[in-house]
Amino acid sequence: MPLAGLISLLVVLLLLSAFFSGSETALMSLNRYHLRHKVRAGSRSARLAEQLLKRPDRLIGLILLGNNLVNFSASALVTLIALDLGGEPAVAIGTGILTLTVIIFAEAAPKTLAALNPERLALPAAMIYYPLLKITYPIVWLTNVASNGVLFLLGVRDKGDDLHSLNREELRTVVHEASTRISSRYRQMLLSILDLEKVTVDDVMVPHNEIIGIDLDDNDREIETTIADSQHTRLPVYQDNIDKVVGMLHLRHLANTSSRSFSREILLELLTEPYFVPEGTPLSTQLVQFQRRRERIALVVDEYGDIQGIITLEDILEEIVGKFTTDPSDDESDVVRDSPNTFLVDATANIRELNRSQGWVLPSDGPKTLNGLIVELLETIPEPLACLEIDGYPIEIVESDDNRIRSVRIGVRIKPGSKSE
């Protein structure tokens, strides 16, 4: 072959080497989830790429087979060209030039380009590799058997699709990374859905002492007043105290009765069976249970059967989408700025709600209210003006009585630290 033919063939081999190197990086850099989206959209090249990536050992074997074949062939051609041009001394010079050329033009440049734009190279390359793999399958299979055998002896096992599955925390990272494509509102909703398993009914329920219901021991006038003033459509009906629930009353059913005057007998006829759930139930589980049972409200009970609070479907949905109803009680904020660096806080406020609304990081894995957190730490109900520090937040007791703390003053966080008096 004339010298010009050898040089032309060498250029072709270098281009093939660049193709093999770049396409390997591109295929391995593909976003698997975006690739699956394109497959569902009907992209043939994406479908072929997904098929190839299901067996990466075969794909890598094919690429290495082609890459090494063209590189060794290029090395042999350089030797022939060098001998033709300058004899044996030129072989060393040709080897050095070929090494630099391969590193720059057949390795670094195409791999960098492929890493920056993987889809532009990977999907067209898949159209070539798929039939090529069929043709060279026997050689690739033998190569894979040998390489997998070595890996097996070294204790390396194929984990299959588990390598690309995501846990909840990794999904949170994906949602955060997609901030430029998802609005902050929808991003927060997605994060709230992922956190449903970590939040229990205890965290969002209306506590025992705040449950509004109908006491059958009251007279008819008091019951009528309770119904008329209620901000809720469903009320528990009990005898003497909330732990003795008789049933649940839907006020719409009461309004639909033909009787114009209130009747205790009609009220009792309209009661439905109360639905009880154990404390500690994750919100994700409770949401499914509400859907299965076609219920919207449940009473939360402890291990002794005592009612701890009440949970509604609305409470769970608000954990995902935020507040979407107008409640007069919501207008009274639990937090009031007392000075540039301090806040006056109602001690009955829920710690999770405080953390969410104020951006604080008070411990929420124990007691649910600020009052409970302080009392648990001090093991007593402190007097007004008593001071303590919880995780870097200076806290001063503003008002308290014999059985609970009513309000506290919380300062700006100084430093993360352990709970201390």
pLDDT in tens, 371-385: 999 999 998 999 999
The pTM score is: 0.64
Residue 234 domain boundaries: 199-328
- Name the one residue in this structure whose structure tokens are 């060098």: 82
When pLDDT is cut at 50, 70 and 90, the band that residue 331 belongs to is very low
Tokens of 410: 């919380």
In the predicted model, what is the mean pLDDT of residues 228-250? 89
Looking at the structure, tell me whether residues 62 and 136 fall in a common domain.
yes
- Domain membership of residue 285 (yes or no) is yes
Q: From 298, 278, 305, select the one nearest 206 (Cα to Cα).
A: 298
Looking at the structure, tell me whether residues 321 and 340 fall in a common domain.
no
Q: From 301, 295, 193, 307, select the one nearest 242 (Cα to Cα).
A: 307
- Domain membership of residue 180 (yes or no) is no
Number of structural domains in the chain: 3
Looking at the structure, tell me whether residues 361 and 320 fall in a common domain.
no
Of 8 and 85, the one with more pLDDT: 8
d(CA 128, CA 132): 6
Q: Which of 287, 312, 328 is the last residue in one of the domains? A: 328
Which string of b and e fits 103-119 if b means at least 16 CB within 10 Å?
Answer: eeebbeebbebbeeebb
Compute the mean pLDDT over every residue in the chain, rounded to the nearest whole number: 86
Condensed to tens digits (0 to 9), the pLDDT of residues 40-73 reads 988 899 999 999 988 888 899 899 999 999 999 9
d(CA 173, CA 89): 57
Q: Which of 299, 328, 357 is the last residue in one of the domains? A: 328
Of the candidate ranges 3-7, 15-19, 74-78, 381-385, the one whose mean pLDDT is the lowest: 3-7
Quick one: residue 97, left, alpha or beta (phi over 0 = left, psi -120 to 50 = alpha)?
A: alpha
**The pLDDT of residue 260:** 53
Looking at the structure, tell me whether residues 356 and 248 fall in a common domain.
no
- Domain membership of residue 351 (yes or no) is yes
Q: From 142, 132, 138, select the one nearest 20 (Cα to Cα).
A: 132
Looking at the structure, tell me whether residues 208 and 240 fall in a common domain.
yes
When pLDDT is cut at 50, 70 and 90, the band that residue 83 belongs to is confident
Q: Which of 143, 158, 173 is the last residue in one of the domains? A: 158
Looking at the structure, tell me whether residues 10 and 154 fall in a common domain.
yes
- Domain membership of residue 419 (yes or no) is no
What is the domain-level CATH number for residue 222? 3.10.580.10
CB atoms within 10 A of CB 161: 8
The phi, psi pair for 107, rounded to 5°, reads: -130, -70
- Domain membership of residue 154 (yes or no) is yes
pLDDT at 261 over 70: no
When pLDDT is cut at 50, 70 and 90, the band that residue 231 belongs to is confident
Contact between residue 405 and residue 371 where contact means Cβ atoms under 8 Å apart? yes
- Domain membership of residue 394 (yes or no) is yes
In the predicted model, what is the mean pLDDT of residues 103-117? 91
Condensed to tens digits (0 to 9), the pLDDT of residues 276-329 reads 999 999 999 999 999 999 999 999 999 988 999 999 999 898 888 877 655 544
In the predicted model, what is the mean pLDDT of residues 412-420? 63
What is the domain-level CATH number for residue 402? 3.30.465.10
